[in-house]
Amino acid sequence: MITWILKGVSRCTPHKVTSRLLSTFHQPDLKAIAKELENFPGGSIDLTKDNETGIAVMVINNPDKRNSLSGKMMVEMSEKVDQLEQWAQGKGLILMGKDGSFCSGGDLAFVKKALHYGAEMAAFQHHTLTRLHNLPLISVALLQGHTLGGGAELSTACDFRVMSTSGKIGFVQVKMGITTGWGATTRLVSLLGRKKALQFLSSAKIMSAQEAHQEGLVDHILQNSLSHNEELEACKQWLGLNYCNYDSNLLQAVKALIVHCDSSKDTSKSLKYERDVFAQFWGGPAQKAALAAKIKHN
């Protein structure tokens, strides 16, 4: 399938690809994009912060649609990241989905109505997820149930991934006729290297928790037969014990260390290129055919 994508690109003359690529290199007007995205309703992003433990929980809340992201939810996620950037007592963040599923990517009802809006949506998501990734706290994605497409991309914006034994994760974008739109190619190469990134992205393989852990994508598998809430508590314990177990008077020093670890690698150029490649495929014939096929990534 990845060959198809490459052929698709090579079919356009270099000039056409370059000029179209450059056309989306402009600085996006994020406020205007947010206004447009808010026209696509559904679901919510809910944030609770515990000043005692310094651990916040951000919930992707659209369970009837396997926590897929609507335009409105993309804006709410950005607003919650704003709040976390200002949270002085923050030590850690758990990103999870409602009712035992993480996230099944973009809300397909939104996707079908936003085929003209790929470059702008990608620019908005890159901005949010880069800020989430660079928060001065340790973030963990709690992967329960399905983590697919954009959902898998969200998980790579966190420092670590903790998965329930029955969870499944897959970067299924190429099966949908597109490349990654929320920055995962850049982050996977940085996280696991080019070979693993290419393997996950070109195969669109749906990995079990064991496989994802073996590949180094998942950092910890929760014990079996826990309820959804018990898995959240176990994840809080894992995060607290391993990364938030220090006195608050050390908080500023730890935050400075985290920020330095994040800034040591400038990924802005790669993200710009990723956004513009994505814009070449978004709304194209392959994506339209995949959407019409109503593919289930079980």
Residues that bind ligand LZKTLF4L (CB under 6 A): 65-66, 68, 104-109, 111, 146, 148-150, 172-173, 176, 178, 181-182, 295-298
Two tokens, residue 29: 């007007």
Tell me the two tokens of residue 244: 């938030």
- The CB-of-124 to ligand LZKTLF4L minimum distance in angstroms stands at 11
User: To the nearest whole angstrom, how small is the minimum distance from the Cβ of residue 136 to ligand LZKTLF4L?
Assistant: 27
Nearer CB in complex with ligand LZKTLF4L: 77/176 = 176
State how far Cα 260 lies from the chain centre.
Answer: 22
Closest CA to 177 of 128, 111, 125, 127: 111
Give whichever of 90 and 100 is closer to ligand LZKTLF4L, judged by the CB atom.
100
Nearer to ligand LZKTLF4L, 3 or 298 (CB): 298
Q: Whose Cβ is closer to ligand LZKTLF4L: residue 55's or residue 279's?
A: 279
**Residue 44 or residue 53: which is nearer to ligand LZKTLF4L going by CB?**
44
Distance of closest approach, residue 298 Cβ to ligand LZKTLF4L, in angstroms: 5
Between 104 and 186, name the residue whose CB sits nearer to ligand LZKTLF4L.
104
Closest CA to 108 of 148, 68, 75: 68
State the minimum distance, in angstroms, from the CB of residue 171 to ligand LZKTLF4L.
9
At residue 61's C-alpha, the angle toward residues 49 and 231, to 5°, is 65
As measured in angstroms, the least distance from the Cβ of 151 to ligand LZKTLF4L is: 7
Chain centroid to CA 92: 17
Cβ 156 to ligand LZKTLF4L shortest distance, Å? 12
DSSP for 88-138? TT--EEEEEEGGG--B-SB-HHHHHH-TT-HHHHHHHHHHHHHHHHT-SSE
